[in-house]
Structure 1
Amino acid sequence: MSKNLEHQFSMLVREVRKEFVGNGPKEISTRFVGNWAISEMKGNLTNVEKFMISSEQGKQMVHEARTKMVKQIYKKAEVVNKFEALMGAKVLRMFSDINIDEDIAMTVFVFEQSIESKGK
């Protein structure tokens, strides 16, 4: 059951990224630890972004745009409500970053209560 809920969470992350960024990650995995949902995403960059990161300035621009954009997405009430409905718990905060060179992003959702046992 836990893997199923983690999978549903991953699919929701992909759906949100696709809706607001234009494409979702190629691979995504989510793990629940205490009151955290940790999503690791590989294959996030668009073809234009891949072209841009050939310069140091381009890397900085893509990194800044990606991190700021994602943080703005998760401030939207309609997005937060989807995650809270799925998990049955309130989202307190979210942390996100991307490693441009490896094309790996991590997002950590912090819930008001433990979610680890929800799927067990």
Structure 2
Amino acid sequence: MSKKIHEFNDMIRKLRKDLFGKGPERIQTVFVNNMAISTLHGNLTPTEKFIASTAEGLKTIHAARTNMIQELYAKEPPTALEELMGTKLVHLFTDIKIEEDIAISVFMFEDTISE
């Protein structure tokens, strides 16, 4: 893993931990053209897992996990992340599969990413 990917993953982990109280246990990231594609494993807190044990709770946790992250990045683009990547973050696409505790985030930047 390159140093840049390692630093990128650490930033993502910290942002998620600050937002939800727990960061992902494992992150795999690849850079493709102007995108960083991250697979995040072990995202949910014990409380979220308990709430997600019902159909309504599952919907609530899914909406909270996806909407909160997108709103955070839209309101306050992570400048440290943009500095690391050397380009502006223009879009974030994210989703989570609650049952398997796996999330995918696609960070789209203005320019091509170099490792």
TM-score (normalised: structure 1)? 0.90
Q: 2: distance between equivalents of 1:17 and 1:45?
A: 10
1: CA distance between counterparts of 2:43 and 2:26?
9
User: What's the counterpart of residue 79 of structure 2?
Assistant: 81
Instruction: Give the superposed CA RMSD.
Output: 1.2
Q: Give distance in 2, aligned partners of 1:44 and 1:20.
A: 12
Paired residues in the alignment total 115
1:47-99 superposed Cα distances (whole Å, 9 cap, x missing partner): 0111111111111111011111111121233x421111111101111101100
CA shift digits 1:11-33 (9 cap, x unpaired): 11001111111110011111100
Which 4+ runs in 1 deviate beyond 2 A?
none
TM-score normalised by structure 2 residue count: 0.94
| Rounded Cα–Cα distance in structure 2 between residues aligned with 1:62 and 1:36 | 26
- Determine the structure 2 residue equivalent to 1:93: 91
Moved more, 44-53 or 79-88: 79-88
Can you give the 5+ residue segments of structure 2 that lack an aligned partner in the other structure? Answer: none
Query: Is 1:109 paired with 2:107?
Result: yes
AA paired with 1:89?
T
- Name stretches of at least 5 consecutive residues in structure 1 with no aligned partner: none
Secondary structure at the counterpart of residue 74 of structure 2: coil
Number of the residue aligned with 1:13: 12
Residue 84 of structure 1 contacts residue 91 of structure 1 at CA under 8 Å; is this kept in 2? yes
Could you tell me whether the CA contact under 8 Å between 1:7 and 1:29 is conserved in 2?
no
Give the C-alpha shift of residue 7 in structure 1.
Answer: 1.0
Distance 2:40 2:64 in 1: 17
Aligned match of 2:43: 44
Cα separation, 2, equivalents of 1:110 and 1:83: 12
